[in-house]
Amino acid sequence: MTKRVFIWVAHPKAGSLCAALADAYQSGVEANGAETIRMDLSEMDFDPHFEGYGADTPALEPALIDWQGAIAWADHVMVIHPYWWGAMPTRAKAVLDRALTPGFGFKYHEKGAAWDKLLKGKTADGIITSDTPPLIDTLLYQKPARRVLKNQVFGFCGMKVRRVVQIGSVKLASKKKIRSWFGRMRRMGERAALS
């Protein structure tokens, strides 16, 4: 059975380093025979306004329905985003708020604090680009973006996390260093396709 991989570039600007790194990851996936669906946040049209779940929650726009469809279709999910103020960009977080909904990503039990993880059986990779060097982010800030993606997004919904990596410092990186990141992304994509 052919592996199915969903790649989500969660950067609000087209032509970003995140998009180029996703290209390398995707080439590794496809070179090993896996199918891909890719969505770029920069091309998604939706209202990021969110007031919480309830009876008056607005219907999802086509872009968010397509995003849910790609998650449902995939065996493996890869999310790549920049690190802004300790987290993913607002529009990326809005996709999670609006589309990773109760009944799709998870389902709370009627009594108690337990929940069902509705995306079990899927695996995931997370990639975060940052100007903050990853070691400094780990020592000073305790890697908040990596923890959120691993635990509160992938893990909360039941996806088995393969890797969540932070790449940086982008601001200080030489061209040679950036080229090495492309190789690393391609290798991650190859492993995603084969395992």
Q: Is 173 helix (H, G, I), strand (E, B) or coil?
A: coil
CA-CA distance, 116 to 175, in Å (whole number)? 45
Ordered by start, the domain boundaries in the chain are 4-194
| Predicted confidence band of residue 53 (pLDDT cuts 50, 70, 90) | confident
Mean pLDDT for 167-176 is: 97
> What percent of the chain has pLDDT above 70?
100
| Predicted confidence band of residue 58 (pLDDT cuts 50, 70, 90) | confident
Which residues have C-beta within 8 Å of that of residue 96, sequence separation ≥ 6? Answer: 153
Q: What is the pLDDT of residue 195?
A: 84
Q: Indicate the class that CATH gives domain 4-194.
A: alpha beta
| Average pLDDT over the chain, rounded to an integer | 96
| Predicted confidence band of residue 181 (pLDDT cuts 50, 70, 90) | very high
Q: Which residues pair with 78 in a beta bridge?
A: 7, 125
Q: What is the pLDDT of residue 104?
A: 96
| Predicted confidence band of residue 56 (pLDDT cuts 50, 70, 90) | confident
Mean pLDDT for 137-156 is: 96
pLDDT in tens, 18-28: 999 999 999 99
Mean pLDDT for 143-147 is: 96
Residue 57 has pLDDT above 90, yes or no: no
Mean pLDDT for 38-54 is: 93
CA-CA distance, 129 to 18, in Å (whole number)? 7
> What percent of the chain has pLDDT above 90?
94
**What is each CA distance from 27 to 33, 42, 136, 174, 193, in whole angstroms?**
10, 20, 31, 23, 10
CA-CA distance, 1 to 4, in Å (whole number)? 9
Instruction: Return the structure tokens found at 2.
Output: 């052919």
Mean pLDDT for 99-127 is: 96
Instruction: Return the structure tokens found at 111.
Output: 């009594």
Q: Is 35 helix (H, G, I), strand (E, B) or coil?
A: strand
